[in-house]
A and B are shown apart, each in its own frame.
Chain A
Amino acid sequence: MSLRGTTLPAALVFFLAWSVSSAAAQEAGESRVTARLVADTAAVEPGSTFRLGVHFEIDDGWHIYWRNPGGAGLATAVDFELPDGFAAGPLQWPLPIAFVQSEGIPGYGYEGSVVLATVVTVPRDIDRRRPGRVQAEVSWLACKGVCVLGSAALEASLAELPEDPIFRQWASHLPHSSEPGDLPFTLSATGGLADGVVTHWLRWTEAPHPVEWFPDPSDALEIGDVRIQTRGELTRIDAAVKSRRGAEGSISELPSVVVITGDDGGRRGWKLSVGLADN
């Protein structure tokens, strides 16, 4: 996944902004997935921020992948191109679900629908009537027993993107950061790379509902068996870890997301990070 802002020549922006577009958000479909550009505002104001995303709609029974696809698969990629002066933040990944890809091979991803979005900062000197066009190069792997690669080149005029209610639905699906304060748990860790297992201990303020755990992607770390046990207010997550010999990347930290599901079926998640030197 990468995000980048690039410059469109001014004359081209001018032309595109005035060109007739039949759809505010251009749709592109391929294989088992449809992708379209969405925004959370209809009016892009100078100096403001807004969310720009790609809404994926996935055929029944098929899945696409989280930033860590698991034991196999491929992370979904969204590459935004923005008008000159606009800046995009990191891609925001909603809480994934876990599934078994094949015998003994875990997978993490999305079924049904998902929005992968970023917060865009608008420069102060834009023309409100002609804020420019945005593009997104999108690619994914969709699987349901068999796998199909898909991609789409999406483009829309910012002036024509409507405020999409989909964002209200997806805002609650993002993981919370683990800043001390309002967390419903305290986190400690034991073990590490030298032990071959790192254990997350989460002591919750009240007994949690089913707990799931999703490690972030890493070229340098291999995550093996994961075992999650909850007794009362204490959850223990054991993850087999080892470093890949000669592979590039950090092996000092293991970032992840922990997710609980409430009685109403609603899921809440928090970003975690533990050190991998002996804890």
Chain B
Amino acid sequence: MKHVMRIVVIVMAAMAAVSAVAGDGVSVGDRAPDFTLTDTAGNEVSLSDFEGKVVVLEWLNPDCPFVQRHYKAGTMKNLATTYQGKGVVWLSVNSTNYMDAAANAKFKANNDLPYTILVDQSGDVGHLYGAKTTPHMYIIDGGGTLVYIGAIDDDPRGGSDNPTNYVAAALDEVLADKPVTTAETKPYGCSVKYKK
């Protein structure tokens, strides 16, 4: 019996280790894992709904000052509007544990956002993708492959007169059927406030 208990403990320890590694998420070149979440109206939305399209995933948290700065400046909304006109799908994901559909709906309405916010209070999709910061940006090409992961731009402090927007640069290359030059950057922002 003691022997069996030891095996159980070892298996549990191994499972814990695997779980920790799972938080590392996806890498550029990986096939983007499918997921299903609900939007602010309660409708189910799956990544696979947009098969064949270029998709941007933006992790957000309206309480994070980095997100607030970008929304005040219109960074995300302008980018989404520009590239939606070129057939790109923009999906925001909120993995903040305490933000339900109503909280996200309020943020969407207050900012008059032309894209969907997906509610991920469990943090499952955030962990699946390894989202660490808000904002944390992912681009998936029309073939379903991750082609960019990282920061929105090269200006964490918001002090640059002429920041380089990594997402715009990557989308331009993807839409021109070119490989993404800067495919991975260090994301910056608040930590995603995952459920404990």
Contact = CB atoms under 8 A, between A and B. Distances in A.
Interface of A: 71-74, 77, 101-105, 107, 139, 141, 143, 145-149, 218-219, 222, 224-225, 240, 242, 244-247
A245 B181 CA distance: 8
A147 B127 contact: no
B156 A74 contact: yes
Given A146-B63, A149-B65, A222-B184, A245 B21 contact: no
A74 B157 contact: yes
B184 A244 contact: yes
Contacts of B63: 146
A77 B157 contact: yes
Interface residues of B, number: 34
A73 B184 CA distance: 18
Contacts of B191: 71-73, 101-102, 105, 107, 143, 147
Chain A contact surface mostly:
strand
Given A104-B127, A146-B63, A148-B65, A139 B157 contact: yes
A219 B21 CA distance: 22
Interface of B: 20-21, 23-24, 27-28, 63-66, 123, 127, 132-133, 150, 156-157, 180-196
B186 A246 contact: no
Given A104-B23, A143-B190, 19 more contacts: A71-B133, A72-B190, A72-B192, A73-B190, A74-B157, A74-B188, A105-B132, A105-B191, A139-B157, A145-B193, A147-B64, A147-B65, A240-B24, A244-B150, A244-B184, A244-B185, A244-B186, A245-B28, A246-B185
B194 A247 contact: no
26 contacts: A72-B133, A72-B190, A74-B189, A103-B23, A103-B123, A104-B194, A105-B192, A107-B191, A143-B191, A147-B65, A147-B190, A148-B65, A149-B65, A218-B186, A225-B24, A242-B27, A244-B183, A244-B184, A244-B185, A245-B28, A245-B184, A246-B180, A246-B181, A246-B183, A247-B184, A247-B186
